[in-house]
Structure formats: C-alpha cells, structure tokens
Amino acid sequence: MAIQQAQIANVRRETPNGWHFKWAGFDITGRALAVAAGCVLAFLYIPIVTLIVFSFNSNPITRLPLTGWTFDWYEKAFTNSNLLAALGNSLLIAAAAVVICLAIGVPTAFALDRYQFPGKVFFRRLVLLPITLPGLITGISMLNFFSMMDVSLSLLTVMVGHGTALTAIVVTNVYARLQRFDRRIEEASSDLGARPWQTFIKVTLPNIRNAIIGSSLISFTLSFDEIPVTFFLTGRDNTLPMYIWSTIRRGITPEINAIGSVIVGVSIILLLVSVFIMSDPVKKAGTGR
C-alpha cells in the first residue's frame, strides 16, 4: 500500500521522457499507467493473499464470507504423516539436486568461460537445453533412458532428473560472474608465487562465491517445487508437490492452504536471501580474501 502511494506521488514529479497527456494540469497517461500497474500487482498478489487468508479460515469450504479464525489446518497438516514423509523426501531431493548442480555446473561454467574446445557451441546449447525446454520433455527423455537401462524408478532417479534439469541455472549464474571477473587478479596471484590451487581457493572462489550460493538457493527452491520431471521419474515415494497434486485432484482442503502458506513464507525468505546475496556488487573484486 505504502509503495503504491509512493508511486502515485512520484507520478506528479515525473521526468519528461514518458508518454503522457495532460489535461487541466493532470497527467492522465501517467495516472492511467499507475492504475494499470496497480491492477497488475493486485492480480499477482490476490491469489497468494487468498491462499494465506483461507489457511486461517475455519470453514472447510474455501468460500466467502470468512467464518472465523483457526489454526486447525496447520495442526492437521503438521500431524499428517504422509505429508511429512513427502516433505522429508522433497528436502532430501532438493539437497541432493543442489550437490549435483554444483558438482557439474561449476566446472561446466569454467569450461565455457576459459577454454576453447571443439563442439563448444553445441555443448553450450545442449547444456542450456533443459531450462529452455519444457520440464515434461526432460522428464520423458529420462524416463525412456532409465527404462531402457532397466533402472527402477525411485527417489534416486528423481534426484538425477532434478540435477539434470536445474544444473543450467548454476552454469548461467556462475558463467555470468566469471565473465565479469578480472582475470588479471589471478595472474597477479600466480606472479606472486601462488600455486594454481591456491589462486583458485584464495582468489577465484571468493569472487564467484555469491553466484554459487545464490544459484544453489534458486536450484533448491526450484527442485523443492518441481513437478514435471518428478511426475515421470518418481517411484513409490512422493515428493511434497506430488503429494499436494494427488490431494488436490481428490478435492480442495484448507490443509493444502496451510502447507501452501508455509511454503510461500519459506520460499520468499529463501528468494530474498538469494537476491540479496547475488545483487552484492563486484566492488569487492580484487580484495581476494
């Protein structure tokens, strides 16, 4: 609210670059744009607010008017053993996916930034394919693969699937940071007698650290939320989104609203942390340690 009021206040003092009509001293276009922007923001947030509000509403049917305040749905959600098992699986998979993403993604980013090798253009396209293609296609191609190799589906196949689908996020973020990184600092380090691994640990790594932490958090969140790949690669065990998906199809329960609100809260915290970390400017470049 305060932000929107600030925006409206800003319209009156705006720069002359914009596109606006004036009528009796009023900036009509600016006002119209402000209203439109406000509506779009409302459109983006009403469903999320709805989710949270109804997680506290005592009526088991999600409808207006609100009937009363309750914590029952949270209590139900957190005593539901299937849901908790799914939550545990999801956390485990997300952690494993991050490990895979980093183990594969960081070297790949280095290779793309620092080496010339035959087939580099193709390699680059291949590596970035999973984030451009629908998750469904990654899921199906890996399902075909696992079935042909006679690998039975389990949480392990889901981990590999998530790792494959999400590594590109680490690659793009680390690559972008490496591109902005002044290589002369590394040269200076080796001129001063550092061994290559010392240069890596003390100079290179601190410079790409934020990109690594930030993209790990993003990968974690996305893996935690992932459905299309999981849908095809999971065996008997459910992840949290798959559990929610199977529950939703049977009908709507406010329990889902409750667990949803918790996820919303946690994801937003994780996101804000990763934005904060990644937006940290490169001003520290050069102060290797």
Partner 1 sequence: MNLAQQKRLSFAALMTGPILWWILVLLVPYVIMLMISFYSKQFPFHVPDFQFGNYLKIFDDPQYFQVLLRSLKISVLVSLVTFALAYPLTYYLVFKVRSHRVRMIIYVATIIPLWVSYLLRAYTWKTILGTEGILNSFLMWIGIIDEPISLFLYNQFAMVVTMAYIFTPYMVMPLFASLEKIPRNLIEASKDLGVGRMGTFLRVTLPLSVPGILAGFTFTFCLSFGDFISPQLVGGPYSNMISNVVATQFGIAMNWPLGSALSMIMLFIVVAIITMSDRFERAGRLDLN
Task: Using the minimum distance from each CB to partner 1, give the nearer residue, 194 or 264.
Answer: 264
Q: Is the Cβ–Cβ distance between 230 and 239 less than 8 Å?
A: yes
Q: How far is the CB of 20 from partner 1 (least distance, A)?
A: 6
List phi, psi (to 5°) of 57: -90, 135
Distances (CA, A) of 251 to 53, 229, 248, 265: 19, 24, 5, 24
Question: Shortest Cβ distance from residue 193 to partner 1 (Å)?
Answer: 17
Q: Say if CB 62 and CB 240 are below 8 A apart.
A: no
Q: From 44, 88, 48, 57, select the one nearest 255 (Cα to Cα).
A: 57
In whole angstroms, the minimum distance from the beta carbon of 79 to partner 1 comes to 20
> Least distance in Å: CB of 54 to partner 1?
7
Residue with tokens 């959600």: 77
Q: Tell me the closest approach of the beta carbon of residue 247 to partner 1, in angstroms.
A: 10
Residue 60 in contact with residue 253, Cβ under 8 Å?
yes
Element (H, E) at 26: strand 26-27
> What is the CA angle 256-98-172, rounded to 5?
110
CB atoms within 10 A of CB 144: 11
Least distance (Å) between residue 224 CB and partner 1: 8
